[in-house]
Amino acid sequence: MTSQIGKWATALAFLVIPAAASAQQVSKKDMRTLIDENMRFAVKQYQVLKDSTPAHRMPRTFQNGRSVTSDTEWWCSGFYPGTLWYLYEYTKDPAVKAEAEQRLAILEKEKRYTGNHDIGFMIYCSFGNAYRITGDKKYKDVVDTAAVYQITRYQPSIQSIQSWNKNKRLNCPVIIDNMMNLEQLLWVAQQGGDPRFREIAITHANTTLKNHYRPDHSTFHIVDYDLDKGTVIQKVNGQGAHDTSAWSRGQAWGLYGFTLMYRFTRDQKYLDHARNIAQFILTHPNLPADKIPYWDYNAPQMPTSRDASAGAIAASALLELGRHVNRQERQQYVSAAATMLQSLGSPAYRAKPGENGGFLLKNSVGHFLANSEVDVPLTYADYYFLEGLLRYKKWYL
């Protein structure tokens, strides 16, 4: 495997960055070093991940000393190729591009996926980045098709896109994660697609704003609807500690989702809501000093229950939110995001070279209560970590 690493990392020096877990102001020089070192490290590490992932599969996690992969229908299937496109964007390494293209080839069939709401994660994070970076229309065509199939799950009676199908516990569930997938609809509409995509995205966001959020600006994970009556049956935290708790990744999904809603619509209520979510997160008494949250803000604070994925998503979202507010707020959000990124790039959360199955970050949590993917690497943690690094470089350096 050592000989393979050179294919993606020729002449890339490995630098050492000290852990930085405090909320102290981070200099531009330190951030440049952090970004450069982590992108270089990621190229090397993702060669290891490539070598451990069969050509017809996607990486999922690394657990109990072995790599775990998925088919392309798994909701996370777009994050690995999306991360590769971020790496290519930074390095212009043709070997990274070739691997990204090979993974898109096996993923493309999911552009007509209707099994749940996650087609945005699957297609926009992968093909959307490919089009943004290359300008190749074939990638845009895939995203355009995905949007058509995405809105087949829209339910007019509840004014929302149904996230999951009916099951034994839930009649018509809509989850906070769905806010992320609205970006695909808004982008396609903005690029000349059917204006219904934008209308549905806005309607869904308004319904989420109305029904998912509590007075303290925290969100439930799931709102379950009666399709016939169009009314709420129950509000629950499927992946949270309990129904009144604040599941950390859900709070990050909401922050990111309402920030992107403002980007596309310039509707002040979305910006105000994103700012309120940011304050909930950043001022929560259970947020650790390094700003990487526990898997739930109201859960017992056990050493293995940090969620690096929630920290990475929140960091990326805060960097975008900082572009839409005044200087004082911007400084708060960007400083917090820098602390998160420094923490994630430190030995506390980042893997050692060649370890962790090739993933970048350790210590993420999929579904704590189900003992599923607890304290392991996850593809979306890596994706949003690199997105955050690149956003910082583009907007604040």
Just list the catalytic residues: 118, 177
Q: Tell me, what amino acid is at 76?
A: C
DSSP state of 123: I
Residues belonging to the chain = 397
Three-state SS at 233: strand
Which are the contacts of 369, defined by CB distance < 8 A and separation ≥ 6?
A: 239, 241
Q: Work out the number of other CB atoms within 10 angstroms of the CB of residue 383.
A: 29
Instruction: Please tell me the distance from the alpha carbon of residue 71 to that of residue 69, in angstroms, as a whole number.
Output: 7
Beta strands in the chain (DSSP E): 58-63, 66-70, 154-155, 160-161, 173-175, 222-226, 231-236, 364-367, 372-376
Smallest Cα–Cα separation from 86: which of 324, 360, 384?
A: 384
DSSP state of 100: H
Would you give the end-to-end CA distance of the chain in angstroms?
35
Q: Tell me, what amino acid is at 84?
A: L
Instruction: Please tell me the distance from the alpha carbon of residue 235 to that of residue 175, in angstroms, as a whole number.
Output: 10
SS3 content of the chain, % helix, strand, coil (to 5): 55, 10, 35
Three-state SS at 97: helix
Distances, alpha carbon 130 to alpha carbons 30, 143, 172, in Å: 29, 10, 33
User: What distance lies between CA 373 and its chain's CA centroid?
Assistant: 16
- Residues 310, 312, 316, 321: what is their CA dihedral angle, to the nearest 10 degrees? 40
- The residue whose two tokens read 């980042």 is 350
CB under 8 Å, gap of 24 or more: what pairs does 4-12 form?
A: 4/47, 4/51, 5/44, 5/47, 5/48, 5/354, 7/47, 7/95, 8/43, 8/44, 8/46, 8/47, 8/93, 8/95, 8/96, 9/40, 9/43, 9/44, 9/47, 12/40, 12/43, 12/44
